[in-house]
Amino acid sequence: MSGDASVDIAALLTELGFDSPEAQALARQALYEAKLSREGKARIDGQKRGRVEALLSSKFLVTCGSEECARTLGDRQLVRAEQATRCAVCHGSANKRAVTEAAKLFAKHGIRRLVVVGGSPGVHGELERLRPAGWELRIIDGTERRTLDLARADIRWADLILIWGSSELDHKVSEHYTREAPKDRLVTATRRGIAGLLEAAVTHLSRRR
């Protein structure tokens, strides 16, 4: 879709998340009003692709339908994609949705420094990849020995301590944190996965006054 080759409008709109007849009608009307296309045309100049994307993203928010993704709506019109992978916020990922939701609440409470205790190396890597730029992470391997002094240093540093209770986690490691950390900064997640961990954190913070 480079150069001045024409592209199929319906295919382009579907790629951008407007994958239902109703959504396509909304998008086409916006193109007509902006004079980027006109009724009856099936194709559009490929050089207009950037302008089409900019216009539609400014007027509409394509989401998977989750409440978390819809909260980023602003003054745009909400469009529900039939394929969750076309969501402009999470791209169909429960982990991405959880990070987006947590990031807003963490910012509200001034939380940037997170200590995460437990979890597998693969999940650690995914959390590092998804974390917003404002987060600082200390990820503690739950299977390796951790001294009480090091745990206390982690607790002093952290704004929030997240214990991955249902993951790879030695009780001797976790108890340093569960015994020493202030309860208002300590979250224990009982579900596996990044979404479960961050949803536990959101629930904990939502209870703060």
106-135 tens-digit pLDDT? 999 999 999 999 988 888 998 999 999 999
Pairing status of strand 136-140 against strand 113-117: parallel
179 HSE (CA, 13 A, CB side): 10
Q: What is the per-residue DSSP string for 125-178?
A: HHHHHHS-TT-EEEEEPTTS---HHHHHHHHHH-SEEEEETTSS--HHHHHHHH
- Burial, 16: exposed, middle or buried (Cβ in 10 Å; 0-12, 13-18, 19+)? buried
Specify the 3-state DSSP secondary structure of 25. helix
198: closest CA among 80, 116, 129?
116
Predicted confidence band of residue 2 (pLDDT cuts 50, 70, 90)? very low
Write down the mean pLDDT value for the chain: 90
Note the CATH number of domain 94-206: 3.40.50
165: closest CA among 174, 157, 153, 152?
174
Residue 192 has what pLDDT?
80
Q: Which residues pair with 80 in a beta bridge?
A: 63
192: closest CA among 134, 114, 123, 137?
123
pLDDT score of 187 more than 90: yes
**Exposure pattern of 171-191 as b/e (b: 16+ CB <10 Å)?**
eebbebbbeebeeebbbbbee
pLDDT score of 156 more than 90: yes
Q: What residue segments make up the domains of the chain, in order of their start?
A: 6-86, 94-206
pLDDT one-digit tens code per residue, 24-42: 999 999 999 999 999 999 9
Question: What's the CA gap between 48 and 13, in Å, rounded?
Answer: 13
pLDDT score of 165 more than 60: yes
Identity of residue 79 = V
pLDDT one-digit tens code per residue, 74-83: 889 999 999 8
